[in-house]
Structure 1
Amino acid sequence: MLPTPTHMPQLDELSAIIAQNTSDDGVFETSIPRLSLIRFSRQTEPCQTLQHPALCIVVQGSKQVMLADEIYVYGPAKHLVVSVDLPVTGQIIEATPEKPYLCMRLDLDLPALGEMFMEITPATGEPAGGCSKGVCLADTSPQFLDSALRLLRLLASPEDIAYLAPLAERELMYRLLRGPQAHKVRRMLMPDSRLQQVTRAITWIRQNYAAPFSIEQVAAEARMSPSSLHQHFRDVTAMSPLQYQKQLRLQEARRLILTSAVDAATAAQRVGYDSPSQFSREYRRLFGAPPIQDVARLRQEPERFAET
């Protein structure tokens, strides 16, 4: 779906607000809780990150997000919803100094969204059953953009944020729960859904990623059989539990080397690797360069690898 004349006034105003509140390339937190604004004036290198549950609305330029071997490309007529913690690779693929990539990201308040889910009657004709992916891509309607605008306009009146931002955010979440991907968003909120069981497994792995574990152990934590865990974990994350653990280990090792001034061998040991050669091999496969070269590149051009 491409932007239509109906979308353009909202997109133009959203672009202006984001441009006014971002001084340079990068990711900027705002005075509105959980809301960040993102601006980049050129394409970026692929950036591996752990993406937490969030709503991302691009208003100018475009981006692709890779989850394992699956690629999601979105621009001003689409928005992305991430429902669980996922190791993803993001890359801005359309941006220039004259027309930078501009995006708003709202980290999801899942308890508040869950309360709304219990209050709202599902729309007729919603698909039923099944476990959805942890990433959803949907068309952005003019009504959805109107709700986003009401939230961002509050940046110009800080005195109103404490009272009005929760109302504007609630309206945006209502649109999410009534939009074309509502059935997928609802699945992530249902207490006994497969997605919630996978979320329990993800939470446990994140807390214990540096230690060896058995699939049976994770399945017990998720209250699933091992075979069911394998199937539905891959459905949601596009990877197995062990592949998920590996990505967490490597991303944490990269963070340690970059921010804690530890060497690669020490970082590898801290995240659970017994073999430095295996660590170096898997690090290079994920990040495209050995640890020393990769971190040197990050330090030289940090803005090109920023979380986007």
Structure 2
Amino acid sequence: MAILRSDRPKPPVHMISRPALCIVAQGAKWATFGTNQLEYRAGQALVVGIETPSVGRVFEASPGQPCLVLALELDLGIIRSVIEELEDPPVLAGDPGCGVWVADIGGPLTDCAVRLVRLMDTPKAIRMVYPLIIREICYWLLAGPKGGEVARLALASPSQGVIAAMHRLRMNFRTPMKIEDLADVAQADVPGRHECRERGLHGGL
């Protein structure tokens, strides 16, 4: 968990985003994933369900009203565990989408965020209480309008090739790389990949 504060707008920052829930309490940010730019502000959260390159920027902040963001890493293993215990699990989304979206935050999720921040006043309770609140957050995400997409992302099992491509991108983030090279790594364990390339179907990341 991290509480991020910005007293002024900041230039864009390149990063590798991991599965996370970024709740804005005040101010506004935008994040770009490929050609998809998402804006989120107070009362909203950016939900990232996959590990992916991104560009983010705080664009609404001032010393009097700083941008305040609560960033929580999402553990897909915990989400899967919660799904297994649900009596009525969400129906998996038919379209996996891009794995990133903006959600309105209110009610139970807001309450969870407030309780997480208050935990900082009682450090001895963090080890016991923090995992319980995170688990509750996973429940409310699954029970929300995007529950099917959350479930699909958590239950998806990326191939070893895709995982290897992610690691190569992370380790060489500042080095120019060709999409074709990453695609070769990602497709390494896919049968018939050479045939696909010959037919013009060799996909990129």
Pairing partner for 1:101 from 67, 89, 92? 67
Structure 2 spans left out of the alignment, 5+ residues: none
Query: CA separation in 2, counterparts of 1:55 and 1:222?
Result: 32
Amino acid at match of 2:36: E
Aligned match for 1:117, one of 57, 77, 83 = 83
1:182-197 equivalences in 2 (<5 Å) = 182-191=147-156, 196-197=157-158
What does 1:230-269 align with in structure 2 at a 5 Å threshold? 230=203, 240-241=204-205
Instruction: State the shift of 1:85 in Å.
Output: 1.3
Asked if 1:138 is matched to 2:103, the reply is yes
Task: Give 1:117 shift.
Answer: 1.8
What residue in structure 2 maps to residue 47 of structure 1?
13
**What is the alpha-carbon root mean square deviation over aligned residues?**
2.5
Note the C-alpha offset of 1:219: 2.2
Q: 1:114 to 1:90 in 2, by over 3 A?
A: same
Residue 132 of structure 1 contacts residue 187 of structure 1 at CA under 8 Å; is this kept in 2? no
In structure 2, what is the Cα distance between the partners aligned to 1:224 and 1:118?
A: 34
Q: d(CA) in 2 for partners of 1:228 and 1:77?
A: 42
> What's the CA shift for 1:136?
1.7
AA aligned opposite 2:63: P
Instruction: Give the Cα separation in 2 of the matches to 1:167 and 1:37.
Output: 19
Tell me, in whole angstroms, the C-alpha distance in 2 between the residues paired with 1:52 and 1:205.
Answer: 15
- Asked if the contact 1:39/1:102 (under 8 Å) is kept, the reply is yes
Residue 36 of structure 2 corresponds to residue 70 of structure 1: yes
Residue equivalent to 1:295: none
Q: Distance in 1 between matches of 2:58 and 2:82?
A: 33
Match of 1:157 among 81, 102, 122: 122
Q: Which amino acid aligns with 1:58?
A: V
Deviation digits for residues 79-99 of structure 1, max 9, x if unmatched?
111111111110111000000
Q: CA deviation at 1:107?
A: 0.9
Partner residue of 1:221? 189
Q: Which has the larger radius of gyration?
A: 1
For residues 127 and 4 of structure 2, the distance between their equivalents in structure 1, rounded to whole angstroms, comes to 22
Is contact 1:94-1:101 (8 Å) kept?
yes
Q: TM-score normalized by structure 1?
A: 0.56
Between Structure 1 and Structure 2, which shows a larger proportion of helix residues? Answer: 1
Q: What percentage of residue pairs aligned between the two structures are identical? A: 29
Unaligned runs of 5+ in 1: 1-34, 231-239, 242-308
Task: Look up the SS of the partner of 1:84 in the other structure.
Answer: coil
The Cα shift of 1:45 comes to 0.4
Once the two structures are TM-superposed, the CA of residue 170 in structure 1 deviates from its matched residue by 1.2
SS at match of 1:153: helix
- The residue aligned with 2:51 is 85
Counterpart in the other structure of 2:135: 170
SS of 1:81's equivalent? strand
Deviation at 1:38, TM superposition (A): 0.1
Q: Match for 1:204 among 148, 164, 181?
A: 164
- Does the 8 A contact of 1:204 with 1:221 survive in 2? no
Which whole-Å CA distance do the structure 1 matches of 2:85 and 2:123 have between them? 30
Query: In the alignment, is the contact (CA less than 8 A) between 1:117 and 1:189 conserved in 2?
Result: no
CA distance in 1, matches of 2:45, 2:192: 32
